[in-house]
């Protein structure tokens, strides 16, 4: 297929590489062209705007930072909906607002496009290895059409329901991660404070009932002093905020999520917004 892909950051790099590996023709756009150099070397084509990337594409994908970015890429004067051919599939794989996903889907459908919101989970490793979890919202026929593309990037691919439900599922995922990150950081902080060997402690607790994705994948990075982003703190703070917005709308109280919001606000205040989410452990270690 001919695919337009906007956003070649930490996640987008691996996702585009896997699309190319699967034999798709991919045209990319990102604000800083140098970030796409490695993908251009692999055979991707360059476009000077989202609109140019989507011209003639079968599928146009956005994987950007914030809901405002998604809206610009889809609705802006140089956006997908001003250049894509009728019948083009428009897919947002950013973690974004469910309300925005529903609004974009309604407009895209009215203009003859097939919209899906399909945020992902799995971090930089999942993006590189093509093992992402993809949570989609939209029409069944559009989801079916996108299957070959999703299969190049992910392993667990599920249609959740109508437009916006992919984003709601991703927010549920982020809520689970938020509590898991606190658990990982507190377990390591306790072990450190009591003089335990962190490596042997991690070997024990990550193989028992306390095991979690954070302990298995991020705690080893913490022990190595590796706080590079597999997923940025600043983007996780955005996701937590989106989840809390829905909680307020639905009158749902989630004290664990509220605690995570407070703690990650401290991480940002400490200048760690561009670090990986495992930087929460460093906040605990500094106390």
Q: Which residue, chain included where needed, has tokens 């070959």? A: 148
The answer to whether 150 and 134 are in contact (CB under 8 A) is yes
> What residue ranges in the chain does DSSP mark as E strands?
2-6, 25-29, 45-46, 59-62, 89-92, 114-117, 120-121, 132-138, 154-161
CA angle at 257 for the pair 95 and 280, rounded to the nearest 5°? 85
Question: Is 1.10.1040.10 the CATH classification of the domain at 168-285?
Answer: yes
Every domain of the chain with CATH number 3.40.50.720 lies at 2-162
C-alpha span between 133 and 158 (Å, rounded): 8
The residue from 170, 224, 234, 238 that is catalytic is: 170
Ranges of residues in the chain whose predicted pLDDT is under 70: none
Report field, pTM of the whole predicted structure over 0.75: yes
The answer to whether 4 and 59 are in contact (CB under 8 A) is yes
In terms of phi and psi (left: phi > 0; alpha: psi -120 to 50; beta: otherwise), the region of 157 is: beta
| DSSP line for 6-64 | E--SHHHHHHHHHHHHTT-EEEEE-SSGGGGHHHHHHT-EE-SSHHHHHTT-SEEEE--
In terms of phi and psi (left: phi > 0; alpha: psi -120 to 50; beta: otherwise), the region of 94 is: beta
155 is catalytic: no
The answer to whether 267 and 279 are in contact (CB under 8 A) is yes
C-alpha span between 1 and 57 (Å, rounded): 8
Instruction: Give the burial class of 78: count Cβ atoms within 10 A of its Cβ; 0-12 exposed, 13-18 middle, 19 or more buried.
Output: middle
Look up the CATH number of domain 2-162.
3.40.50.720
Extract the tokens encoding 129: 């290895």
Every domain of the chain with CATH number 1.10.1040.10 lies at 168-285
* Helix orientation angle between 10-21 and 140-153, rounded to the nearest 10 degrees: 90
Q: Phi and psi of 134, rounded to 5°? A: -115, 125
C-alpha span between 49 and 5 (Å, rounded): 11
Q: What pLDDT score was predicted for residue 287?
A: 86
C-alpha span between 81 and 113 (Å, rounded): 8
C-alpha span between 169 and 246 (Å, rounded): 12
């Amino acid at each position: 297929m001919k695919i337009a892909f906007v956003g070649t950051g930490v996640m987008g790099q691996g996702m585009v590489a896997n699309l190319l590996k699967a034999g798709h023709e991919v045209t990319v756009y990102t604000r800083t062209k140098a970030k796409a150099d490695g993908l251009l070397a692999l055979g991707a084509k360059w476009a000077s705007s989202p609109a140019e990337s989507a011209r003639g594409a079968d599928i146009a994908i956005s994987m950007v930072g914030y809901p405002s970015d998604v809206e610009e890429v889809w609705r802006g004067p140089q956006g997908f909906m001003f250049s894509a051919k009728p019948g083009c599939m428009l897919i947002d794989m950013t973690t974004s607002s469910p309300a925005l996903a529903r609004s974009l889907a309604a407009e895209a459908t009215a203009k003859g496009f097939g919209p899906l919101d399909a945020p992902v989970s799995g971090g930089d490793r999942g993006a590189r290895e093509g093992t992402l979890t993809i949570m989609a919202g939209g029409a069944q026929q559009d989801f079916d059409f996108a299957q070959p593309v999703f299969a190049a990037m992910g392993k667990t691919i599920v249609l959740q329901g109508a437009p916006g439900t992919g984003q709601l599922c991703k927010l549920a995922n982020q809520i689970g991660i938020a509590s898991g990150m606190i658990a990982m950081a507190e377990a390591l902080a306790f072990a450190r404070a009591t003089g335990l060997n962190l490596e042997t402690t991690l070997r024990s607790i990550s193989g028992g009932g306390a095991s979690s994705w954070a302990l298995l994948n991020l705690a080893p990075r913490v022990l190595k002093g590796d706080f590079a982003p597999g997923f940025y703190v600043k983007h996780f703070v955005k996701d937590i905020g989106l989840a809390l917005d829905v909680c307020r709308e639905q009158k749902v109280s989630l004290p664990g999520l509220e605690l995570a919001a407070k703690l990650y606000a401290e991480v940002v205040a400490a200048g760690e917004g561009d670090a990986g989410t495992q930087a929460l452990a460093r906040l605990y270690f500094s106390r």
